[in-house]
Amino acid sequence: MLTLKERFYLGDIIEPVVQKTKSTKAILKVSAFLDNGKWKKVDVKVMVFIQPDKKSRNLFYGDQLVFSSLLAEPLLSVIPGSFDNRSFLHLRGIYFTAIIRQQHWSQIAVNRLNPVYHLALSWRGKLLNILRQHGLKGREFGVASALLLGYVDEVDNDLMKDYAATGVLHILSVSGMHVGMIFLVLEKLLGFLERWKYGRFLKISLSVLLIWAYALITGLSPAVLRAAAMLSLVIIGKSLKRSPDTLNILAASFFFLLIWDPKLLADMGFQLSYLAVVGIVLLYQPVYSLFVCTNWFLDKIWALVSVSIAAQLITTPLSMFYFHQFPNYFLLANIFVVPFCDLIIYTGILALVLSGVPYLSMVLAKALAWSVWILNGAIHIIGSLPGSVTHGLFIGKLGMVTIYGILITICLFIKLKQKRWLFLFLLLLVFFQGNLFLAKLKENHEKQFFVYSTKNSGIYDCIYHGSSILTGDVRMLENPVFADALKKCWEVLNTTGKYQLLFLPGIKNDKTFMDQGNFFKKGNFFQFHSKRFGILSRKLPHGTVGRLKLDYLIISGNPRIKLAEISRFYCANETIIDNSNSLWQVRQWVKEAVALHIKCHPVAIEGPFDAVF
């Protein structure tokens, strides 16, 4: 297997390289590995993190590397229900990750892959350097480069959270709005070509070519692919003097893109992008017709609100399924952001096009920086308002499908005025509420036990009646990433952290703790309701007579003991190997567990452990 030991690998960089502070990140298509002095063919995608130096800063798409490293599977989600990095990478076809140390790699070829894509990324690099040379830096550079060129790697996490909390995170990825604006600019710039005999065909060809060139420069995200495909079909339709239906155009672009890459169907951005357009096409006019405004300015505001409501309505169930939250001030944010975003994009385009003009380019760059600064400030203020986000909206797949059924049936009833749709709407509403009631009832009677997948530590959570008793290495709460993930998990479970008990493997702790008779702990053993748990750390107990019966045995602290020897002292229904153990030792125990027919859950390999009883 590729993951058992460090080997030499040969691979090509197949995506844009991301330069981070502590590493250089690249996606490689590995084509061969060295085994017993012979190169063997393989075909896998690997995400690598190269320790930064002068050489790694010059890596680019299409470069071929030979490197020495140990391949590992991507990290799993830390907490049940949190972001699952492994599943996300698997959807992209990436099944391994690797850390490459300095002097353990070498570049042996350049520009081996698609020369057109290589050229497009080179252009993007030059345009990003223009922004840097004109004084844009920090958050202003991060947002400007994301809005104009689809380069999101320098937008910091706090700013991302602000944009997510206001429901306008989509503007940080180049999407249909951006491509549409580029199309409008091209329509104006190339309009003079229609005066010539065959100028119309030249204009159409140039428009399609430049739109796809822009899509290439911005990294071919799913939203950009959708917009570029749709606009290309619209332009071709116009050339044939036809006005095709928008939904037909949408369906055609959807069909062709899935033929090109079927994995796009599982991409969250692809799903949200198409749903938003469907919502705008189907719901904008009915929403806009609800209110007639005679004032020109107010009518423009209402049109913008109508677009926001239409897109939000149809994407909300999917957003709730993925993010478990709802931005309550999305209308306020969109009313401000959308026109301001237009200003930033047009200013940015002018700043890039006129970058060679002294003084004027500097003035435009300053105007761009100030515009982005104002946008970031406004987003932060809106996101900081009380009640800006409703958290803990865990609906599951069945709930998401039911909500979409409710939306569809109520829209059909409003349009067709048929009682059967109203009846079906009420039936789905009762079904949805019934599911919520049953889930709440089940939650009040369930006891849950978690072993979280925190690196180099063991941390355990006992949950009942909305209370959490957290034990193990609770120092992990000082880690903001873990603390934030745990907070979201508790919100989903409608739980609050009630007690925390620090227990580290290898440290004797004879203190007794009891919580209303439901939780009892002494030394390396604790009981939660009727379930008995033991924590094996460092060494086996002395003087034990017979096998101690447990429901769950947790191996923690990397004790160098064989599983066969452990089973002589403990008789457990299930053995849990937490993440404080070395991966090499975990693999040895897993092999032993298979041979001894012991039910085993290695957290480092299978992710966080979750038991309901």
The half-sphere exposure of 461 on its side-chain side, counting CA atoms within 13 A, is 30
- pLDDT tens sequence across 475-517: 787 887 777 777 777 776 777 666 666 555 444 444 545 555 5
Q: Name the 3-class secondary structure at 555.
A: strand
Domain identity same for 567 and 514: yes
- Return d(Cα 473, Cα 513) in angstroms, integer: 17
Q: What is the dihedral of CA 448, 451, 452, 454, to 10 degrees?
A: 160
Q: Are 3 and 96 in contact (CB under 8 A)?
A: yes
Q: Are 224 and 175 in contact (CB under 8 A)?
A: yes
- What element of type H or E holds 587? helix 583-596
Name which of 84, 83, 79 is nearest 468 in CA terms: 79
* Average pLDDT, consecutive stretches of 10 residues, N- to C-terminus, the chain (613 residues): 74 85 87 87 90 86 89 75 73 85 88 78 82 84 81 76 76 64 70 72 80 75 72 73 74 80 75 78 83 80 81 84 80 79 81 81 86 87 83 80 89 84 90 83 78 83 81 79 77 68 48 60 81 82 70 88 85 89 86 89 85 84
Instruction: Say what the pLDDT of residue 22 is.
Output: 80
Q: Are 91 and 262 in contact (CB under 8 A)?
A: no
CATH code of residue 547: 3.60.15.10
Is 605 within a domain? yes
Q: Are 59 and 45 in contact (CB under 8 A)?
A: no
Which of 352, 373, 391 is where one domain is finished? 391
* Residue 88 vs residues 92, 267, 268, 322, 419: alpha-carbon distances, Å: 7, 9, 10, 12, 43
Is 215 within a domain? yes
Is 77 within a domain? yes
- Return d(Cα 319, Cα 155) in angstroms, integer: 21
Can you read off the two tokens belonging to residue 435?
A: 């599911």
DSSP symbol at 474: G
Name which of 538, 479, 533, 524 is nearest 79 in CA terms: 479
Dihedral-angle region of residue 175 (phi above 0 means left; psi in -120 to 50 means alpha; beta otherwise): beta
Name which of 553, 552, 529, 551 is nearest 541 in CA terms: 553
Q: Are 528 and 462 in contact (CB under 8 A)?
A: yes
Domain identity same for 436 and 479: no
Q: Are 41 and 32 in contact (CB under 8 A)?
A: yes
Domain identity same for 230 and 86: no
Q: Are strands 459-464 and 609-612 parallel, antiparallel or unpaired?
A: unpaired
Q: In what order do the strands lie in the sheet with 609-612?
A: 496-502, 467-472, 459-464, 447-451, 609-612
Domain identity same for 406 and 359: no
Is 2 within a domain? no
The residue segments making up the domain with residue 433 are 396-445
Is 210 within a domain? yes
- pLDDT tens sequence across 398-425: 888 999 998 889 888 888 888 888 899 8
- Return d(Cα 30, Cα 66) in angstroms, integer: 9
Is 1 within a domain? no
Domain identity same for 310 and 167: yes
How many residues are present in the chain? 613
Q: Are 194 and 187 in contact (CB under 8 A)?
A: no
Domain identity same for 108 and 239: no
Domain identity same for 377 and 304: yes
Domain identity same for 167 and 70: no
Which of 93, 113, 133 is where one domain is finished? 113
Instruction: Say what the pLDDT of residue 45 is.
Output: 92
Domain identity same for 193 and 269: yes
Domain identity same for 197 and 302: yes
Domain identity same for 99 and 236: no
Q: Which residues contact 302 (CB under 8 A, 6 or more apart)?
A: 288, 291, 293
Domain identity same for 301 and 433: no
Residue with tokens 């002068």: 54
CATH code of residue 47: 2.40.50.140
Is 452 within a domain? yes
Which of 84, 113, 142 is where one domain is finished? 113
Is 489 within a domain? yes
Q: How many domains does the chain have?
A: 4
- Return d(Cα 521, Cα 162) in angstroms, integer: 42
